[in-house]
Structures are given as structure tokens and as C-alpha cells.
Amino acid sequence: MTTYYNEHQKFLVSVDVIIFGFDEQKLKVLIGRRQMDPGRGEWSLYGGFVSADESLNQAAAHTLEKLTGLKDIYMRQVGAFGDVDRDPGERVISVAYYALINVKDYDEKKRVKHGLEWVDINKIPTLYSDHNLMVGRALTKMRQKIKTEPISFRLLPSLFTLTQLQRLYEAVIGEQVDKRNFRKRIKDMDFIEKTNLIDKKSSKRGAALYRFNNKVYNEDPNFKL
């Protein structure tokens, strides 16, 4: 292969993933103690270096898979972070991605093995490098998306109650919403289907379980919360 751009500087490039999960009425992020120098022991996002044979998206997907064992995780780029001194070790340009997973799909053994914790989005400690900034940007992006695209379902089990959906939405946007108005909006979306199944765990009376029907959604992709 010919090299055209010889004279220019090359950089380490990493991806850092902000993994969101929803649990016990709270929106959480997976973070862990950094296991290498520099910054060993500090709270940090999970990340990895990009290798020559993978695109940035692939690198992020691989990182997510390595961490969770899950494939086809919903994932979006947050942006590139490139301050000269952002990494105390050496110059590294990092591309952040956020991902949404259902906490129950995530094997606890894997979580512990990687030394990760689910931390409430409102109680995030100081993180390594510029990771707090990354989390903030990711949240902003996700908040926008969740109002116009059906990504909530990525954070919930495939069967869920309307109360669960509402609690999730409230946790993401950070404010409470009116139950009747919320359910009215849901009723207008045909791709959120009521099943015959009843969830008896959450209440004595039991709550109807709903399902997101992606096929119906694709016929008329209109989502608005």
C-alpha cells in the first residue's frame, strides 16, 4: 500500500462507552475502578483502544460486547474528545458512545468480573480524565432522542407495564409527568401493544403488560413523548 500522508502525526484513538441502564426507578451508568496506570483506582468509564482493522463503530460495539456478552446493543456516538492533555498518560483522542441495555439482560458475573458498578445518574463521582463531560453530553443526547425515537424499550424488558415505562421516562428527563396524559399519548401509538398478560409483581391488582412492536412502528414511524 502506498502511503500518501507520511509527514503527519499519528495518535492513539480510544472509544469510551457510557452504558445506561434502568433499575429500581433510577437511571444508572456502568462505571468501574480503573485497572491500569495512569489513574489506577479512579472511577472511570470503560473503554478500549481502536485497532487497525476496525471502524470506530465496530470498536465501540466490540467494547460493549466484551463487557456485556450482548450483541445488537443500541449505541450512538456522542462525539470526539481531543484536548491535548485530556489523558494524563499520553495523548489519546477518544470517541465516546452511549449505549442502552436492559439491566436484567446483563449477567451479574460479568459485571463483577470487570469490577463495574451501576451508579445513579444523579450521584456520579468524579471520574477519570474528561469522563464526566462525556457522561453529561451523552445524557443530553439521550434525553433528546428519547422524546422522538422509541429507544426507551431498549432499557426495559420486552414485556413492561405502563407504569414502568413512565418511571423510566421520568428518570431520563428528570421530572415527573401526569399519569393520565402520559397514557393518553401511549394509546395513540399503535406500536405499543397491550398483551393479555398481567404483571402481578408490582401490585395486588396487577398491571397489563405491553410490548413494543417494531414491525408496526416501521410502517408508521411516529413517536412523540
Interface with a second copy by CB under 8 A: which residues?
Answer: 1-5, 8-13, 36-38, 49-57, 59, 77, 79-84, 89-93, 95
Residue showing cell 509527514:
7
State the binding partner of 207 from DNA, a second copy, none, CB within 5 to 8 A by kind: DNA
The answer to the question of residue 224 lying near DNA (CB under 7 A) is yes
Pairing, β 116-120 against β 192-199: unpaired
- For residue 38, whether the previous peptide bond is cis, meaning omega lies within 30 degrees of 0, is yes
The answer to the question of residue 197 lying near DNA (CB under 7 A) is no
66 close to 156: Cβ distance less than 8 angstroms = no
C-alpha cell at 45: 468509564
The answer to the question of residue 174 lying near DNA (CB under 7 A) is no
Q: Which amino acid is at 163?
A: T
Among 7, 180, 196, 219, binds DNA (CB under 7 A): 180
The nearest distance, CB 211 to DNA, in angstroms, is 14
79 close to 96: Cβ distance less than 8 angstroms = yes
Binding segment for DNA (CB under 7 A), chosen from 88-96, 101-109, 118-126, 195-203, is 195-203
The nearest distance, CB 44 to a second copy, in angstroms, is 14
The answer to the question of residue 71 lying near DNA (CB under 7 A) is no
Nearest to 159 by CA among 109, 216, 197, 126: 197
State the binding partner of 184 from DNA, a second copy, none, CB within 5 to 8 A by kind: DNA
C-alpha cell at 217: 412502528
Shorter beta-carbon distance to DNA: residue 10 or 180:
180
The answer to the question of residue 161 lying near DNA (CB under 7 A) is yes
Degrees, nearest 5: CA angle 197-202-205 = 70
Task: Give dist(CA 168, CA 26) in Å, integer.
Answer: 7
Residues that bind DNA (CB under 7 A): 161-163, 178-181, 183-184, 200, 202-208, 224
